[in-house]
Structure 1
Amino acid sequence: MEPVTLTVVSAGLGKPSSTRLLADRLVEAVVRRLDARTGELTHAEAQPRPGGGSVQVRVVELRDLATEIAHHLVTGFPGPALREALESVERADALIAVTPIFAASYSGLFKSFFDVLDREALDGTPVLLGATGGTARHSLALEYALRPLFAHLRAAPVPTAVFAASEDWAGGDAHTADLPSRIDRAAGELAALVGAAPAVRKPRDGSPRDEEVVPFADQLAALGVQ
């Protein structure tokens, strides 16, 4: 079993960024869940990465790619850093995508990145959706804006999306309200989908994917849904 590759796309604009903070919390929870699943395997079955883990994490900070994304939109050619980021998303076993909410939707930078992504790059990829905003009133943007976007890209968003408002970080402490429970629930759902290993995912070496499709009922069963 190869290590799971987890790519994180963060569209936060500031430093520090609450969007990146949420992304980091989601990564911690997902890695913990995936490592726990690997721990259930025998040492002969598992192939951990250096440091004892079974997950390889790559973080894509869109603020650092803003210029290359704009150039790609008008020229059709990605720069080196953007090309590497796009390939990281395409080859990932799972994706965490987090954006700030501006004007009741995802940020323009977030949308522009996925606009230049290959249309088949996310076919069948499990995705955990996250967003941040000044008030919880923006939380529905996850359902009417982000989820349709990833459905259009034929990804597989997990049922639980995570929104963090300003009050969730009160006093700089993430352990407020029910944010930790939402993060943990979403992480468990993503880990379950990764463990189900849908056959529709594109092979990492770029070879043609197996056209066998895992029945939807089997995918629900992997999530524990009756």
Structure 2
Amino acid sequence: MRDFTIVAVSAGLGKPSSTRLLADRLGEATVTALKAQGAGAKVENIELRDLAHDVVNTMLTGFPSGAMPEVLEKVTGADGLIAVTPVFTTSYSGLFKSFVDVIDPESLTGMPVLLGATGGTARHSLALEYSMRPLFTYLHADLVTTSVFAATDDWAGEAGTVSPLPKRIERAGGELAARIAGARHQGPAGLYDNVPSFEDMLGR
């Protein structure tokens, strides 16, 4: 079985960022699950905070600029995608949505995707289901069943309790690993992929 590449996109605004931390944990869980299946894997992290100006310029001009061509190639060519955003005003961040808007809308078709989000309280956890999941469903991504929301208290757990976050991360990573190992995502179609050969046109 070949080695797989997983891209983890995080839209946290701070450094350090709990959003990046969740993306790291999800990536580690996925790699561990793939290794248990005998497959090698690596995670490439993309922090949108560092690309904010390039994202805006790409939206304004309609053409990828700065680091965006390389970043978009990594995302659309990955074997699996982990997408994590902070929740602002009950939805994904504007930076996260702007980045998704500059991705070729057909390039994520069939891509195994794991969704994650962070927020101050668990009240925002449903944003994953009513906001993020419909967005990636529209893009025809292959979404895993388990999404992961991490509130501030989830990282330590309340006094006398055990946080369910590690187990949820492990389960989500296992689901993504299973999808990646069995996926047939080919990335965006090339410009001439569907052009018939001369032999085909001549009926030979």
- TM-score after normalising by structure 2: 0.88
The one-letter code sitting in structure 1 at the alignment partner of 2:56 is A
Please tell me whether the aligned partners of residues 89 and 121 of structure 1 are also in contact (alpha carbons under 8 angstroms): no
> Relative contact order (alpha carbons < 8 A, sep ≥ 6): 1 or 2 greater?
2
Q: How does 1:108-127 map to 2 (within 5 A)?
A: 108-127=94-113
How many angstroms does 1:205 deviate by?
Answer: 9.3
How many angstroms does 1:169 deviate by?
Answer: 1.8
Aligned to 1:50: none
Aligned to 1:33: 33
Aligned to 1:181: 167
Please tell me whether the aligned partners of residues 132 and 165 of structure 1 are also in contact (alpha carbons under 8 angstroms): yes
Return closer, same or farther for 1:63/1:8 CA change in 2, 3 Å cut-off: same
Larger Cα Rg: Structure 1 or Structure 2?
2
Query: Percent same amino acid among aligned pairs?
Result: 59
> Which of 91, 94, 97 is 2:80 aligned to?
94
The one-letter code sitting in structure 2 at the alignment partner of 1:14 is G
CA RMSD of aligned residues (A): 1.9
Aligned to 2:142: 156
Aligned to 1:74: 60
Question: Does 2:19 match 1:19?
Answer: yes
Gap runs ≥5 in structure 2: 195-204
Return closer, same or farther for 1:194/1:143 CA change in 2, 3 Å cut-off: same
Q: What SS is found at the alignment partner of 2:15? A: coil
User: For residues 161 and 186 of structure 1, what CA distance do their matches in structure 2 show?
Assistant: 7
Question: Does 2:90 match 1:104?
Answer: yes
Please tell me whether the aligned partners of residues 168 and 176 of structure 1 are also in contact (alpha carbons under 8 angstroms): no
How many angstroms does 1:170 deviate by?
Answer: 2.9
User: For residues 68 and 84 of structure 1, what CA distance do their matches in structure 2 show?
Assistant: 12
- TM-score after normalising by structure 1: 0.80
Question: Does 2:44 match 1:58?
Answer: yes
> Which sits farther off after the overlay, 109-118 or 56-65?
56-65
